[in-house]
Amino acid sequence: MPSYRHRYLPMTDQDEADMLRTIGATSVDELFRDIPNAIRYQGTLPISAPLDEPALWAHLRELAERNTDATRCVSFLGAGLYDHHIPAVIGHLISRSEFYTAYTPYQPEISQGELQAIFEFQSYICELTAMPVANASMYDGATALAEAGLLAAGTTRRKRLVVSRAVHPETRQLIATTARGLGLEIAEVDYIAGDGTTNLELLEQAVNDQTAAVIVQSPNFFGCIERLADIAALTHAHSALLAVSVNPLSLGLLEPPGRLGADIVVGDAQPLGIPQSFGGPTCGFFAVAEPLMRRMPGRIVGQTVDRSGKRGFVLTLQAREQHIRREKATSNICSNQALLALCAAVYLSVMGKQGIQETALLNTRKAHYAASSAAAIPGYSVPMGAPFFNEFVLRLPAKLSYETLSTRLLANGILAGYDLGQSYPELAGHMLLAVTEKRTQADIDLLLARLEEYV
């Protein structure tokens, strides 16, 4: 029997000797002889000695026990990833081998199931956003919004992107990085301090005939709902495109951006049945007005009929670097989040129109109950007055730091909201709280009791 040195790396000493002999080398070290000694690592890496399997499992368990079990915490942390109910049927369906292990469906004749699932996802996104065309998904919401800026620049042949400062700060960083690589100019427009929405006077000053796109988020990072119709009018007055990032669950209540003048609607599908998973992966969606369809990044699944008239599905409109010359590509996005798009499609299917509306309403009512109750506690206030969905900004008492509050809350099984001072220096001492349909009144009242206790 062969002597395997590693259980999961089935290469024997004889295999190694045979390969070295074939290429004319006497040892593995000889393969690295072209690397100068001056820059090669000398000695042994400072890592622990190998462990046998029982010892390794014991070590991993000890490390895991140091973590806080987030599933046993009451979470009020959002800021882009949310603790929503995930119907059990989703895990069952996506675990089926034909979906879970499927590769890119280049051969439609053997990939009809996956193609149909993606087509259904696209159809749902079009219904939610009131846009005529959606693609087969993006990496995440942040990537999708950055790609929206690139689409606008390519379509208008302009180099200026106007971005609201109320867009998620990490997404703005991604937009700036992407724009810098392509020589695009970024102009940021501030929000109204006592309102939480984009300052339309500053926006009107920032948009000009060199603007390719105005980029906003609604509900924005503070949870506030932007005045999209007014923003669309300002944008289109200069023949620029309006790109809007949305929380898809909010569209169970809010007028969809497609009916308010948006040209590009993107977002993250994570609220639609996708777990938080310590930050990802998630699934971005991307929908456009019909004239922009051929400039959309990624790919689209199209519906057609075969020679017998039977309905079928195919990949179409995939003008990516993988298929054409780079200078003619719409994007270098060469993949999509098919499995997570399936999560979103199953979620929307089983929840239905009424379920989405009821869930969105629960998010809104519970968040407003938490906000009004917290503002009634002496020392706390809700400083932003715009209508909001399921997130709101809470100003903490002057003597209570976020670090102290979050530590005390965690000790009581409560995961605090996001520290806004990390991203907005002027909002030091402010916390962004998310309240989803999973938070019961008892959960919210527990938070309120602790807030009052810590004043």
Express each pLDDT in 367-382 by its tens digit. 999 999 999 999 999 9
Query: What does pLDDT average to over the chain?
Result: 92
CATH number (domain holding residue 336): 3.40.640.10
**Mean pLDDT across the stretch 242-267?**
98
Both 130 and 252 in one domain: the answer is: yes
Within a domain: 129:
yes
**Residue 320, pLDDT above cutoff 60:** no
Which CATH number goes with the domain that contains 435?
A: 3.90.1150.10
409: containing domain = 70-84+353-453
Residues 405 and 426 in one domain: yes
> Is there a domain that residue 55 lies in?
no
Q: Is the pLDDT confidence value at 4 over 60?
A: no
Decide if 42 is inside a domain. Answer: no
Q: How confident is the model at residue 319 (pLDDT cuts 50, 70, 90)?
A: low
Q: Are residues 144 and 286 in the same domain?
A: yes
Q: Do the domain assignments include residue 39?
A: no
Select from 294, 318, 347 the last residue of a domain: 347
CA angle 241, 318, 117 (to 5 degrees): 95
pLDDT confidence band for 221 (50 / 70 / 90): very high
Instruction: Verify that 333 and 265 share a domain, yes or no.
Output: yes
Question: In this structure, are 316 and 384 located in the same domain?
Answer: no
Domain match, 134 and 266 both: yes
pLDDT of 22 over the 60 cut = yes
Q: Are residues 280 and 428 in the same domain?
A: no
Same domain, yes or no, for 173 and 298? yes
Q: CA distances (Å), 305 to each of 119, 283, 309, in order? A: 14, 29, 5
- pLDDT at position 8: 63
Q: Is 164 a residue whose pLDDT tops 70?
A: yes
Give dist(CA 386, CA 430) in Å, integer. 16
Q: Which of 164, 178, 264 is nearest to 207 (CA)?
A: 164
Q: Which residue has the higher pLDDT, 174 or 6?
A: 174
Q: What is the pLDDT of residue 5?
A: 56
**Nearest C-alpha neighbor of 270 from the set 78, 435, 93, 434:** 78
Question: Residue 85 — very low, low, confident or very high, per pLDDT cuts 50/70/90?
Answer: very high
Q: Identify which has the larger pLDDT, 9 or 63.
A: 63
> With 70 as the cut, is the pLDDT of residue 321 above it?
no
Task: Please tell me whether residues 191 and 98 are part of one structural domain.
Answer: yes
pTM of the prediction?
Answer: 0.87
Which of 325, 347, 369 terminates a domain? The answer is 347
| Higher-pLDDT residue of 393, 109 | 393
More confident site: 293 or 455: 293
**Would you say 183 and 150 are in contact if contact means Cβ atoms under 8 Å apart?**
no
Please indicate, yes or no, whether residues 395 and 414 belong to a single structural domain of this protein: yes
- pLDDT tens figures, 130-159: 999 999 999 999 999 999 999 999 999 999
Query: What share of the chain has pLDDT > 70, as a percent?
Result: 95
| Domain identity same for 154 and 295 | yes
| pLDDT reported for residue 56 | 93
pLDDT at 264 over 90: yes
Mean pLDDT of 443-448: 98
Q: What one-character-per-residue DSSP string does 197-225 give?
A: SB-HHHHHHH--TTEEEEEEESS-TTSBP
* pLDDT tens-place string over residues 380-425: 999 999 999 999 999 999 999 999 999 999 999 999 999 999 999 9
Last residue of a domain, one of 347, 369, 391: 347
Average pLDDT over residues 299-319: 87
Mean pLDDT of 421-430: 97
Domain presence at residue 40: no
* Among 86-95, 104-113, 120-129, 306-315, the least confident range: 104-113
The radius of gyration of the chain from alpha carbons, rounded to an integer in Å, stands at: 26
| 60 occurs within a structural domain | no
Number of domains making up the chain: 3
Residue 326 CA to residue 260 CA, distance in Å, equals 34
| Alpha carbon distance 139, 426 (integer Å) | 31
- Does 56 reside within a domain? no
Phi, psi of 370 (to 5 degrees): -65, -40
Are 174 and 237 part of one and the same domain? yes
| The pLDDT value given to residue 102 | 76
Q: What is the pLDDT of residues 339-362, one digit of tens each?
A: 999 999 999 999 999 999 999 999
Asked, for residue 421, whether it belongs to a domain, the answer is yes
Res. 1: pLDDT tops 50: no
pLDDT the model gives residue 334: 66
